[in-house]
Amino acid sequence: MSLKCKFDKERGLPLILTGFVILLDQITKAFIAARWPIYPGDHIRRIWPEAGYFHPENLLQIIHVRNTAIAFSIGQGLPPEVKRILFVILPIIVLIVLVWYYLSSDEFTKLQRWAIAGILGGGIGNIADRIFRTYKYDGELHGGVVDFISVRFFGLFGFERWPTFNVADSSVVVSCLLLLVTIFVSSKKSVTSDCSIEQSAKQSKEPTDEQET
């Protein structure tokens, strides 16, 4: 693999998805945060349906939640300085490395490049929240990533409702699954192809009936 970054149509076109995810993610978050703000000391703001109609069995609920940690609120109790390192600085480094690998590698298929573009868009969207929507109040960290989509999960994996998420989270999860599937399919095809080549080589080396006689 070349260490030199390249930028051509094959690499540039999927980045449109990156920009689209960032734009849609930030627009929806800005709307939720402006229309139904959460103030210091608040943890949740119920939006839709109205309070009297909220029920655990509702398939979809819109709930304004701020997450200063990562997925499933992991790391919520960590000190602010540790959170900044683990949830802001480290992810930025990871995204920079991913962008470099995306631009320099020739190993990705077209579909895999679109999947990586979706991961980049979601990652940047949430990092932007951790930088610009987080603030200190009375010595405590407030704000964080805007989550607002809550769906019923019918007890799967122990969740009656899936942890509240946003557009960026959706993009990362779907894109990661797509990337894993394409990598699995590609590796399976590669193994099948290698076996076929090996089998053909063996057959070509086997003596024919005429050679034996």
Please list the active-site residues.
147, 169
Q: Name beta bridge partners: 142.
A: 135
How far are the Cα atoms of 29, 45, 119, 148, 205 from residue 33, in angstroms, in the given order? 6, 10, 23, 10, 71
Do 64 and 44 contact (CB within 8 A), yes or no? yes
Burial of 98-124, coded b for 16+ CB within 10 Å and e otherwise, reads: ebeebeebeebeeebbbbbbbbbbbbb
Q: Which of 144, 147, 159 is nearest to 45 (CA)?
A: 147
Give the span between the Cα atoms of 83 and 67, in whole angstroms. Answer: 11
Find where tokens 């298929």 sit.
109
How far, in Å, CA of 23 to CA of 21, rounded? 5
Parallel, antiparallel or unpaired: strands 134-137 and 140-143: antiparallel
Q: Could you give the residue ranges of the DSSP H alpha helices within 135-166?
A: none
